Structure formats: structure tokens, C-alpha cells
């Protein structure tokens, strides 16, 4: 049976895969609604890593890898097989499955698409959707979709 | 790696220990260390301002593992959950055991698992209050990670701080931890129900706290028997 949470995640995925200029307010509302209403409990019992810091609620699907000195939460969902490298801080965000967030990145209010790769250290990213590969700041500015 | 970057790394490494810093930059290392501490303190001030603006009272509870922080909070929650809309932030290395215990008494809880950090800091609290609708609360408790040393390095921006010890920790426990008692408003000496069996000199403990901080209020409690919880609530002006 598909849970309400999975249902909403699929709905958001559909919207971020068909972004239009006027999608901004819709995404903002969907993300807010998901984080405040559907992400109402933590699930952090099944990750691969040493000792990250969690501020509730944080929901990790199976096989999520987490590096050192990572701060997750509040309001974070991370899909299965995703990897969070060292010194990352994430709050108010959805990371879909099989994504990789490279070292020293700070995310707030973001949605990172399935299979995406964020690999440009020392950057703060907020209020945006990122789908695809980011290997430097130029890539990021090309592909990110700001919604605020 | 460039020379400049190497120098920067050297400087940051030295920050970890002033004693290891080279003579010519020791003053710089000390200054930087002070600035880092200031950052936590100014964030704590900002938190306190925001909570005050919303009329929210806030209390930070510190004590060793097993001293009775959670048990006392359970008793306080039992008595105050009808009077105040309470949020309890629980800090622990791992698990949700404390938050689950407290939640049974009709108060909202948020668990922070610090992983390898030995105390909560202002940034943890800031991240929570920034993301909560503060109009929903009148009173916030922060239960720090069980530890009598590290929490003294980090102000959290609460109005008051309680430090709890229990008589099972021995009558020297306060004497050995001056810092926390100097910065606390209330000292709780818990587990007095075991006094007859243990024979701990609790008058010495109370005097030690008063010697470090003449303004501190000392309350003897037994969370297990619910003894003096009202006195504690009164001392907290709640």
C-alpha cells in the first residue's frame, strides 16, 4: 500500500520534472505542506555512517549514507540509497533517492531530484529545486530553479 | 596546496590548542577563539530576544547522566501542562527515550541527537525556534545532553538554567563542577529518598553551590516520590 507520504512525494516529483515559470508558488506550497503535515515523525534507525546530528523530524529511507560532521534537520526527508558527504548541513528539504550531496554544502528549503549530484563544495543553497549534475557554481546557476 | 592555504590550515589547527600555537601568532589564536565563543553567545542572545518578544519563558536543564533530569521534567510537565503550552527540547547522543517519556505527560517534544557532540549549542536551538510557530507555546524547556562539563561552554539563550545533581553522585560533585553552578539560577539536589541509605552530606552540597554562587536557589527533591516539585516550580517562578 502506498502511504500518504509516498503519494505526496510522487506528486512533488511530477511537478519538479515538468517545471514551468509559474511553478514557483506551487512548489513552495507543496514543499511546505509536505514538511509541516506529512513529515510528522522521524525515522533515523537505518543509516550508514557514524555519528551525524539529527534535529527532529528527519526521515531516512533505507541505505542512506551519511558522512562526518553532518547536521540534518529539522524537516528533512532523504530517499533511499542517497549519500550525504562530510560537513553537510540540510534543513527543510527533500532529497530524492540515489542522489549525492558532496562535501561542505548547506541546503535549506530545497528539493534535490532523483539521481542528482551536487558536488561543489563551500556553498549555501536555499529555496530551489536542483535536478541533474552540479560540479561547480556555474553548473548550479544554469540548472537550479529558484522558487523564492 | 598553496602557501596561503597551508598557513590558514596551520592557524585553524592551532586554534584547537593555544598551548601549541607558535609564539608569533598566539595572540591571534586567542583572539579568534574568543570570537568563536562570542558567536554562540550572540546567537543565544538573539534566541532569548525572540522568545521574550513572544512572551515565552525558557529554561535549560543540565545534569549528569542519570541525575534525574527527565524524571523531574516528567513531574514538572504533569503539574504544568494544563497551565502552559509547553515545548520540551531533549538533547541526547542518540535515541528518543527521554522525549518519549516526557511526551506521555501531554507536552510536545523535539529530540536532538547530537551524535558525537557532548552538549547542545545555541545553533541547535536556533534551528528549532526558527522553524516553529512560536505563537503555539508559553514555556520551553531544554534538557541538555547528560554531562556536567561541556554545557558550561555553551549558552542556549534561555531565561534560566537549572543544574541537577543527585546524592548518588557523592557529596563532592558540586565542589568539583564550579562553572555550571556559577552560571545557574537553581541547583537541584535530587534522589533525597535515598538519603538514609547513602548518608550523603547534602548540607555540604548545598553550601558548595551557595559558595560558588550566592544567588543560586538550592532545592532538594525526590523526583521518584514527587517531593518538593512544587518548591522547584516556585523557584522557577512558573
B112 to chain A: closest CA residue = A55
pLDDT at B21: 66
Residue-level pLDDT at B63? 97
Computed over every residue of chain B, the mean pLDDT equals: 93
Nine-digit cell at A103? 562535501
Q: Which of B96, B117, B128 sits opposite A55 (nearest CB)?
A: B128
CB of B5 within 8 Å of a chain A CB? The answer is no
Q: Which three cell numbers stand for residue A4?
A: 500518504
For residue range B51-102, what is the model confidence (pLDDT) as tens digits?
999 999 999 999 999 999 999 999 999 999 999 999 999 999 999 999 999 9
Which pTM does this prediction carry?
0.90
The conformation of residue A115, written as its DSSP 8-state character, comes to T
Mutate to test the interface with A, among B114, B127, B130 (most CBs of A within 10 A): B127
Name the grid cell of B194.
535515598
Residue B168 has pLDDT above 80, yes or no: yes
Looking at the complex, report in whole angstroms how far the Cα of residue B142 sits from the nearest Cα belonging to chain A. 13
Nearest Cα to B187, choosing from B210, B169, B170? B210
Q: What is the mean pLDDT of each run of 10 residues along chain A (148 residues)?
A: 86 91 88 92 89 95 95 97 96 98 96 95 92 93 89
* CATH number for the domain whose boundaries are B37-235: 3.40.50.300
Interatomic CA distance for residues B207 and A58, integer angstroms = 44
Domain ranges of chain B: 37-235
Per residue in B195-219, is it b (16+ CB within 10 Å) or e — as a string? eeeeebebeebbebbbebbeebbbb
What integer pLDDT is reported at residue B11 of this predicted model? Answer: 64
Q: Domain spanning A4-146: which CATH class is it, in words?
A: mainly beta
Amino acid at each position: 500500500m502506498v502511504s500518504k507520504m509516498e503519494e505526496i512525494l510522487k506528486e512533488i516529483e511530477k511537478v519538479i520534472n515538468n517545471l514551468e515559470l509559474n511553478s514557483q508558488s506551487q512548489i513552495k506550497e507543496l514543499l511546505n505542506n509536505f514538511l509541516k503535515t506529512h513529515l510528522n515523525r522521524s525515522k533515523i534507525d537505518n543509516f550508514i555512517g557514524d555519528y551525524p546530528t539529527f534535529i527532529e523530524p528527519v526521515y531516512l529511507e533505507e541505505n542512506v549514507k551519511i558522512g562526518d560532521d553532518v547536521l540534518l534537520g529539522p524537516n528533512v526527508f532523504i530517499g533511499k540509497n542517497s549519500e550525504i558527504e562530510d560537513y553537510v548541513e540540510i534543513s527543510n528539504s527533500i532529497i530524492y533517492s540515489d542522489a549525492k550531496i558532496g562535501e561542505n554544502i548547506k541546503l535549506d528549503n530545497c528539493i534535490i531530484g532523483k539521481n542528482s549530484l551536487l558536488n561543489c563544495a563551500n556553498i549555501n543553497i536555499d529555496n530551489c529545486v536542483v535536478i541533474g549534475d552540479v560540479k561547480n557554481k556555474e553548473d548550479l546557476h544554469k540548472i537550479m530553479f529558484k522558487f523564492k | 596546496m598553496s602557501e596561503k592555504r597551508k598557513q590558514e590550515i596551520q592557524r585553524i589547527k592551532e586554534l584547537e590548542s593555544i598551548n601549541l600555537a607558535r609564539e608569533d601568532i598566539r595572540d591571534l589564536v586567542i583572539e579568534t577563539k574568543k570570537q568563536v565563543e562570542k558567536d554562540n553567545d550572540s546567537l543565544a542572545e538573539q534566541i532569548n530576544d525572540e522568545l521574550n518578544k513572544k512572551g515565552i519563558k525558557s529554561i535549560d536543564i543540565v545534569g549528569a547522566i542519570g541525575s534525574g533530569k527527565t524524571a523531574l521534567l516528567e513531574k514538572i510537565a504533569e503539574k504544568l501542562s494544563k497551565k502552559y503550552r509547553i515545548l520540551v527540547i531533549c538533547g541526547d547522543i542518540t535515541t528518543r527515550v527521554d522525549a518519549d517519556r516526557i511526551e506521555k505527560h501531554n507536552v510536545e517534544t523535539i529530540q536532538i541527537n547530537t551524535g558525537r557532540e557532548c552538549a547542545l549549542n545555541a545553533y541547535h536551538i536556533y534551528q528549532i525556534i526558527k522553524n516553529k510557530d512560536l505563537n503555539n507555546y508559553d514555556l520551553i524547556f531544554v534538557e541538555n545532553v547528560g554531562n556536567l562539563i561541556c554545557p558550561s561552554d555553551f549558552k542556549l539563550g534561555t531565561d534560566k538554567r537549572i543544574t541537577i545533581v543527585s546524592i548518588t553522585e557523592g557529596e563532592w560533585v558540586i565542589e568539583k563542577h564550579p562553572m555550571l553552578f556559577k552560571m545557574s539560577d537553581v541547583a537541584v539536589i535530587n534522589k533525597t529518598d535515598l538519603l538514609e541509605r547513602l548518608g550523603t552530606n547534602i548540607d555540604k552540597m548545598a553550601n558548595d553551590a551557595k559558595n560558588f554562587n550566592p544567588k543560586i536557589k538550592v532545592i532538594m527533591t525526590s523526583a521518584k516520590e514527587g517531593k518538593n516539585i512544587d518548591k522547584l516550580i516556585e523557584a522557577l517562578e512558573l
